Amino acid sequence: MGTATGSGRSDEVKAAVVEAIKVGYRHFDTAAFYGTEKAVGEAIVEALRAGFLKSRGEVFITTKLWCNSNERHLVLPALKKSLRNLGLEYVDLYLIHWPLKINHQHIKIPVPTEYVTAINIKAVWEAMEECQNLGLTKSIGVSNFTSQKIQEIVSFAKIPPVVNQVEMNPLWQQKQLNEFCKENHILLTAYSPLASTGNSWGNNSVIGCDVLQDIAKSRGKTTAQISLRWLYEQGVSFVVKSFNKERMMQNVDIFDWALTQEDLNKISQIPQRKLVYLLGFVVREPNDITAEIDSKL
């Protein structure tokens, strides 16, 4: 379950995480940038107190290193701050949120491009490895990384990344990146599996997709369930967010049925369109954005 929200209401996040634990969710994804770490930690404490969880070990917590801490000497302090926010001794997974550095403490969206610079990935990754060696995180990984950037890490890493969290859904299928990650024993995790519908940065492109709607209607499922089941069948994990109990339950009701080959063929032909672009870059044509990001990285 994802916890990125534009509402800024920690009480809402806390209540939703507790409800999700009751429904059966056990992996919770947060980040320093989201501002939801404290609410997630408080929800875990409440769930333990209420008996919904027997121990901390029953939940898997992911958080992320924000771009203003993408320097070697800042990584460990950033993780320690996240742990204080969460009220935990360790996280299960710590990710580099984006492969770049934002040279400004307080940012507004969009971030001016002059604030964005490349990072020393070797130095930052060595600091990530130190975090794992200290027992402050069980595993380390990356987010929004290309195969080229991951290959660079793999070339020198003592501890390779175990996860790459990226935007992925039937409208942005990430086929090549998924194959690369499988070949390198890296689990791809999909964020925005429903195109972040309901969030200020999202849209209705997945839920409103005619192909997915037709399949959902024929199968007696929701469009969201078709998208999530498709992701599951690609061999990836995913971070889905809903604070509505009924939809929480629907979103995990995807394991006792399967898509047909005809369904998969139809989904494979859906025109591809990326939703989430790098913070700080004006959304223009995708090729222009990609070229500008590449020049920074």
**Do 206 and 212 contact (CB within 8 A), yes or no?**
yes
**Do 70 and 124 contact (CB within 8 A), yes or no?**
yes
pLDDT of res. 128 = 98
Residues involved in catalysis: 34
Rounded-to-integer distance, Cα 270 and Cα 171, Å: 6
Rounded-to-integer distance, Cα 88 and Cα 159, Å: 23
List Cα–Cα distances, 89 to 29, 64, 124, 241, in angstroms.
Answer: 16, 16, 22, 25
Q: Where are the alpha helices (DSSP H) in the chain?
A: 10-23, 37-50, 72-86, 121-133, 147-156, 175-183, 210-219, 223-233, 245-251, 261-268, 286-296
pLDDT of res. 297 = 43
Rounded-to-integer distance, Cα 277 and Cα 283, Å: 7
Widest CA span in the chain: 55
Per-residue model confidence as pLDDT tens for the chain (297 residues): 999 987 668 999 999 999 999 999 999 999 999 999 999 999 999 999 999 999 999 999 999 999 999 999 999 999 999 999 999 999 999 999 999 998 876 666 666 778 889 999 999 999 999 999 999 999 999 999 999 999 999 999 999 999 999 999 999 999 999 999 999 999 999 999 998 554 554 567 798 899 999 999 999 999 999 999 999 999 999 999 999 999 999 999 999 999 999 999 999 999 988 765 544 443 333 333 333 444 444
**Do 81 and 50 contact (CB within 8 A), yes or no?**
no
| Torsion on CA atoms 119, 121, 122, 125, rounded to nearest 10 | 120
Rounded-to-integer distance, Cα 159 and Cα 94, Å: 13
Q: List Cβ neighbours of 33 (8 Å cut-off, separation of 6 or more).
A: 64, 66, 67, 97
